[in-house]
Amino acid sequence: MKKNFFAAALILSLGVGSFAACSSDDINGHQTEQKKTTTMMSIALKMPAASGQRAATDEPYNYIGEWLGQEKVNQVEVYVFEGTAGTDKLEAHQTFNAGDYSAGVVGNEVVFRPNKGIAITPGTKQVYVVVNSNAATTAHLSGVSVVGTTTLSQFETAYNGVASAVTNTGVATAAVTTDNSAAGEFAKLDKSGGSAASQWKNEIVMTGDNAGASGAVIADNVAESAAISGGSNLVALKVKRVVARVAVTSSAADFTLQGDDPYTSTVETTATLGKVTGFTYVAAQGERKLNFKQQENATDLTSNNGAQSYKWNSPAYSFVSGAGYATAADPIAAAARTNYDYASLWQKATGAPANGLLGHPVPTNASVSTSIATASDANAKAIGELMEGDFLLPTTHLYHNAAPNGTDNGYYKGNTAYVLIRSIFTPEKINVDLDPTVPDNAPAGTPRPGRPSATVTPTTWSTITAANRPEILVRGANGMFYSSVFASQDPIYNGVTGQSVEIFTAVKDATNQIVGYKMLYFAWVNPDNVLTQKWYNSPVYRNNIYHIQLDGVTGTGTSWNPLVPASPTDPSTSTPNNPDQLTVPPTVQVPTTPGPVTPTTPVTPVTPTPTPTPVQPQNPLTPNKTFMAVKTTVLPWQVHGYKFNLHNQ
């Protein structure tokens, strides 16, 4: 029989939150086939321009607009089955590598066309595709890719199943300057094009719909040239990026913290308490696994005792973080480590000081776009081009119209993707311990010759030279700041004996000089009800970009991150997986009389408790009180954004 070529042009049309490929990348096909072929399939990747329409099924809060993207298509795998029945076999598995693609704009679409066809038999076919396949996708599909053996049912079980990262362990114990997250195994940023962000590309795994329940009818006797040009045997498919992305900007380089002056008897709201600056961020607690193809909920938008399920779910959809989350070897903590990724908390910017903050620097809005918070595709583009934002795997739960009750499926602080904002805080005033070389845990009888006989006046921070700044900053329950735990308990230093305290650790610059103290804030990636801050839900969907804009600070942040699960041997307060651990105050010996302390001065041992944090994994998302302002935005890429005032949630 004469061998004929036919082409099935495969259109990969990025659905809502469109994938935008803007590079000319290769396809170098290798194909395994068993049956005698009489026609050819060719693929064409079509990336539609942004539509300006959001996807109702994605329920994206804080919608800004759409962005075509800066995508790199490095590899495409095409799977063609003999028919649409579950028993039909894999007829062709074609891998196209970088090298054989030509790219161009046709109408409002970016189109990639290979210069080779796929030899195949005519008839009804079922077709699947994986864009930018890599080690993780290959591992997931390795057992269902045998031509002539793999059935459609076997393949669809895997394609519609749950995929895992290959190397990510969910936790880390040391700083890294690379993307060590689970999402980083399905997406990466390619900077090989140049030093500017406009020259960088996202190389992201994409999956999507098949050719439909009826399949695609492939005609016989179509020439390869016709196949390549897309003139015949056109198969239209849609794909989506499998990850989301988070970007953070700030409306200013620093914010002044205002509130009640703890040194007066009146209640103020505008007294200067300190300054917050030097922001960095990382996204964490995204899932470690993903539905290889986006999966719909069976009860889409169906009421359930006031709750709803939005269209898409994720593998850990039903996980609820509980009260035992912080205890060593607790099964809920173990489940959290299995389901969620905390390794990204250790990411650090290249060149950052050794004792500086972990995370990615937060740029100001002005350095990105003067109207970045305005809903428009132009601003969506500006947000999208913040190319160094963190990737996240989708993270969803049952939607609620009110806070979940603690046992219901829903969004809690311990199962919802968050952005950790690290900042450098400097107080306006500080009560300075005049015996700085005496450690807090010094035993009774240790001399303190510098202790005064009368209550001290607090020192203005700006008058303290870098060499004399304390290694810790202690905040008492009374709202005052101290240079030591001892001072926080000693009335001579305006302390209150027995008050709870929070200890903030020093941040140092490249010369190892103290520039301030690490203070943490938390922001949810995509919260609902931003204006009222009644946050009950915060879904993270694939193919969306979420932009958070820091917009002010209305309260003191926390000193540690309680949203890292306990390890098998250590509670969450001291797990080695947490780069932002709790500093537990020591027992201090508080004198009972004024003046210098000698070996005979009577003292009372006091062990202050750590100040409780409102950030607890078992709590709903709504904060008890608000302390930091943030705006968040989502990108097809759909882009979302909202403003956020920094606060403890």
How confident is the model over 331-368, as pLDDT tens digits?
999 999 999 999 999 999 988 888 899 999 999 988 88
Residue-wise pLDDT tens digits, 55-94: 444 555 666 666 667 788 888 899 999 999 999 999 999 8
- Mean pLDDT across the chain: 84
Say if residues 644 and 523 touch (Cβ distance below 8 Å): yes
195 C-beta neighbours (distance < 10 Å), count: 7
Q: How far apart are the first and last CA of the chain?
A: 72
65 closest CA partner among 641, 647, 538, 646: 641
Selection from 204-213, 225-234, 265-274 with the highest mean pLDDT:
265-274
Ordered by start, the domain boundaries in the chain are 10-242, 246-424+518-646, 428-517
- Which residues have a Cβ under 8 Å from the Cβ of 351 and sit 6 or more positions away? none
Note whether 504 and 591 are within 8 A (CB): no
Rounded Cα distance, 496 and 606, in Å: 11
Q: Strand pairing of 75-81 and 90-97?
A: antiparallel
Average pLDDT over residues 505-523: 96
Reported in sequence order, the residue ranges of 242-292 that DSSP labels E, i.e. its strands, are 244-250, 254-259, 271-284, 286-287, 289-291
Q: Identify which has the larger pLDDT, 169 or 41.
A: 169
Give the global pTM: 0.89
Percentage, residues of the chain above pLDDT 90? 58
SS3 content of the chain, % helix, strand, coil (to 5): 10, 35, 55
Q: What is the DSSP letter of 136?
A: H
The H-assigned helical ranges of 385-517 are 485-489
Label residue 30 by pLDDT band (50, 70, 90).
Answer: very low
477 by Cβ neighbours in 10 Å (0-12 / 13-18 / 19+) ranks as middle
What are the Cα distances from residue 233, in Å, to 115, 214, 230, 237, 396? 16, 15, 7, 13, 38
pLDDT at position 374, please? 65
